[in-house]
Each structure stands twice: as structure tokens, then as C-alpha cells.
Amino acid sequence: NFGGLVFPIGDGEAAPFSASLDVVGSVSAKTGLSCNALMLTRHPERHVNACAAAGCAAMTISLEDAAHPHRILTRIKESGMSAGIALNPATSLVALEYLLDKADIVCLLGVEPWSADDAKAAPALIERVKMLSENIRYRELRTDIMLYGGLSIHITGKAIAAGASRVVLDRQLMEETGQKSFVDAANMCFTLLHEALEKT
């Protein structure tokens, strides 16, 4: 199912420059689609009001770049948005222990933000999804697990089977389909992921 648009936003320090909140605001206003700002930036607390003003349905912050993540997640929710937290591949899931009940979304990054364009997510991502999903179920939470970065159809299919519920269709996933147009590539992604799930 289509769950909306995710806009990775880097500041040139925590992650490379990418989309801007002006773009997010324009897309949200013109399409009415649900938009999630994935803020891979230093001091994410400085962007909460701007994300809300841009019409974001969700704001996801980078755990590694948040000095006070608990406080920021609370503030995001108070601003009327769903609150998400993203983890780099090298960050232990233990870091989420006291934050999981405050997060609507946990985004597991497949590769580090400054990785090469052709960097691939490691199979270890599947085990991370499984462990996180089991923790969420054990604590009877409703937190969604989102995947982003360096994904392949094979790993993504197995990660969905392990408990992931959201996937960012990034450049690598789209290119794997061999389709040139965005719509055709997105449709092919859904088809291939469905086939991968049936094989798990």
C-alpha cells in the first residue's frame, strides 16, 4: 500500500544536501499527500516548527544527531505530527530502549548517510528488523518500522517479512526494476516486493 512520500533532508553536515522543506511544503499543498520529513540534520529540534508549517504528517529525526531525542519526539507530537527516529546501521538497537514508546516510526537506515551512491545495505538489516519487531510486539506498541537507503528487492522483501511496514523507494530500488519512468518503476517495485514476500 502507498503510505505517502518521504523526503530525506540533509544539511551538508550530518548528511549530504538533499530536498528542502520548501519543496515538501509545495508538494504537500498541491497534492494533499502525506509527507514525512526525514531530517538527517544536526540540531533537528530547530526544524520542528518549520516541518509543521510545511504540512508534514510526520517528522523523523536522526538519533545520532539529537542531543535530547525524548524531548524532541514529544515536541513533534505536540506540533500535530507523527514522530519518528532514524538509526544508522552501526547504532545498536539498545539506544532505542527508552525512546521506543515515544516513536510512531523507527527508520532503520541501510547505509550510512555519507556512503557512496552504490553502497548496499547488508543482510544484517534483516536481523535488526526482526529484533526490533519482536521488541515492539513484546511491549505491545504500534510503532512502524521504516527502511531507507541502499536497499535491494531481495533484502527488502525479507525485511518486510521480518516486520518492516514502510519502505522508502530510493534510487537503488527504482533502478533495480529497469524501468525509466517513476510510476513504472514504483509499480514494478511493488510487484517485485510482492513476489519476494511470497518466496519467504
Identity of the residue numbered 10: G
Strand partners, 10: 40
Question: Does 160 have pLDDT greater than 60?
Answer: yes
**Count of other CB atoms within 10 angstroms of residue 189:** 20
Sequence-ordered list of residues with C-beta below 8 angstroms from that of 88, at least 6 positions apart, any chain: 62, 63, 64, 109, 112, 113
Instruction: Give me the pLDDT at residue 14, please.
Output: 60
Average pLDDT score, the chain:
88
pLDDT of residue 161: 93
Fold for the domain defined by 5-199: TIM Barrel (3.20.20)
